Amino acid sequence: MELTIEKQQFLRGLARTHGVADRKSSMHILSNVLLTAEGPDRLRLSATDLYLGVTAVVPASIKKGGTIAVSARTLFDIVKNLPDGEVSWKLSDSHAVELSCGKVRYRIPAMPGEDFPPLPNPGDADFAHLDVAVLSELISLTQYSMSHDDTRPHLAGTLFEGDGKVVRMVTTDGHRLSKAEHKVSGKGMMSFSMLVPHKGVSELKRLLDDVKAAKGKGEETATVGIATAGGNAFFLRDDLCLSVKLADENFPPYGKVIPSKQSRTVVAARGPLVEALRRISLVANDKSGGVQLMIEPGMLRIQSQNPEVGEGSEEVDVDYAGDELRIGFNARYLLDALSALPHDEVAIELSGERDPGVLKPVGGDSEFIGVIMPMRI
């Protein structure tokens, strides 16, 4: 295997793949990135932890084909610190590669590419195409309430659904739930339902952030292809493909958790409400994080007290004309939901002190519902 490649192109491919390589696995090969020469002018870089897989194709001048696996972290750190210019890469034997750039020379241990596990392949799967901005917004509106407890795989992920007219994401950790959906139009939007583990969601968010950054540099369109095959989800953008092993679990029936009707609706400016919650949460109990909301016509009072720290309260002007109500919530749960919303105004729907609260944005293109269970204070 012998090739030359521009340092920035090499770094771009490594930046998208090295993070997926599993350095803690008992399988040493998984800490490597696989480099495969394809044709006369393409280099494919691949990495996997057996649950996530990423492949990136970058331009290169291939002098001699082949495949080899090299430590992902070592190679990324080396290429990142090389001077700008052309990088020469040559397989010296089956156990090492020689890398040079200008006056810099390295000899790096390697492993046979044949030892690298095969990555899932979408085959002939049909790809639906979704706007990057829409997919990124759905993740931002729901990622905060996703559980990261791998012992509860039915909660440690995002339910991602599409019915041809609407795409939807739902997450819950058992204490709160968020649902965001966006109407779509045009051909090619298939119906699907998949439970994407939290690691896959995080990696997908990275992919989308990269695409948005590229778009900001002049790209006119930005869409991502989505497909499922063989128990895996595939997200495709140009020469980059992310595969995610889907969770074989049943997501909770979220429709039963969302209240169908609430008796009280409080409309508030999101910014002042967030600032007040942050200030009063400073004296909340460290374990419960609880604050008490007292609503009355035209006013929402947030208060909390902790014998070891002190007490505090703050009033926020709101649009409300109903009966008085006192209800407790975990302040962080409220702040997470409010911080995820880009809207200027939010509606807080409530019924009784033991009933869940519902957060909704006022205005906007995407429909969002955040459900938070109350707590005794």
Residue 145: pLDDT over 90? yes
Which of 254, 275, 308 marks a domain boundary? 254
Once rounded to an integer, what is the mean pLDDT over residues 303-311? Answer: 90
For residues 237 and 227, give the distance between their C-alpha atoms in angstroms, rounded to a whole number: 12
Residue 217: pLDDT over 80? no
Once rounded to an integer, what is the mean pLDDT over residues 194-201? Answer: 97
Residue 153 lies in a domain: yes
Is the domain of 136 the same as that of 247?
yes
pLDDT at 121: 92
pLDDT at 95: 84
Once rounded to an integer, what is the mean pLDDT over residues 193-197? Answer: 97
pLDDT at 220: 57
Residue 207 lies in a domain: yes
Is the domain of 282 the same as that of 239?
no
Residue 311 lies in a domain: yes
pLDDT band at 196 (very low <50, low <70, confident <90, very high): very high
Which of 214, 229, 254 marks a domain boundary? 254
Short-list 37, 126, 21, 9, CA closest to 72: 21
Is the domain of 249 the same as that of 201?
yes
Residue 121 lies in a domain: no
Residue 122 lies in a domain: no
Residue 93: pLDDT over 80? no
Which of 198, 226, 254 marks a domain boundary? 254
Is the domain of 237 the same as that of 311?
no
Residue 365: pLDDT over 70? no
Is the domain of 271 the same as that of 249?
no
Is the domain of 206 the same as that of 289?
no
pLDDT tens string 183-193: 987 665 678 99
Distance of CA 84 to the CA centre of its chain: 32
pLDDT tens string 104-128: 999 999 999 999 999 999 988 889 8
Residue 268 lies in a domain: yes
User: Which sign, positive or negative, has the C-alpha torsion 309, 315, 321, 324?
Assistant: positive
Task: With H, G, I as helix, E, B as strand and everything else as coil, classify residue 271.
Answer: helix
Is the domain of 219 the same as that of 133?
yes
CATH number for the domain spanning 166: value is 3.10.150.10
Two structure tokens written together for 367:
């429909």
Is the domain of 334 the same as that of 223?
no
Stated pTM of the model = 0.91
Residue 215: pLDDT over 80? no
Mean pLDDT of the chain: 93
Rounded to 5, what percent of the chain is helix, strand, coil?
25, 45, 30
Query: For a pLDDT cut of 70, what percent of the chain falls above it?
Result: 96
Residue 353: pLDDT over 80? yes
Range of the domain at 106: 2-115
pLDDT band at 88 (very low <50, low <70, confident <90, very high): very high
Is the domain of 215 the same as that of 269?
no
Residue 67: pLDDT over 60? yes
Residue 180: pLDDT over 60? yes
pLDDT band at 218 (very low <50, low <70, confident <90, very high): low
Residue 234: pLDDT over 90? yes
Is the domain of 173 the same as that of 290?
no
Is the domain of 222 the same as that of 133?
yes
Residue 123 lies in a domain: no
At a CB cut-off of 8 Å and minimum separation 6, what does 208 contact?
Answer: 132, 135, 136, 139, 224
Two structure tokens written together for 112:
């046979």
Q: How many CB atoms lie within 10 A of CB 365?
A: 10
Structural domains of the chain, count: 3
Give phi and psi for 316, each to the nearest 5: -125, 130
Residue 27 lies in a domain: yes
Residue 377: pLDDT over 80? no
Lowest mean pLDDT of 2-11, 29-38, 41-50, 366-375, name the range: 366-375
Contact 341, 368 (CB under 8 A): yes
pLDDT at 213: 77
Strand order across the beta sheet in which 157-163 lies: 191-197, 157-163, 166-172, 176-183, 367-372, 357-361, 345-350, 264-269, 310-319, 299-306, 290-296, 325-330
pLDDT at 308: 85
pLDDT tens string 316-343: 999 999 999 999 999 999 999 999 999 9
Is the domain of 271 the same as that of 239?
no
Residue 232: pLDDT over 60? yes
Two structure tokens written together for 221:
């369109």
pLDDT at 187: 61
pLDDT at 364: 64
pLDDT at 211: 82
Once rounded to an integer, what is the mean pLDDT over residues 204-222? Answer: 76
User: C-alpha dihedral over 26, 32, 38, 42, to 10 degrees?
Assistant: 150
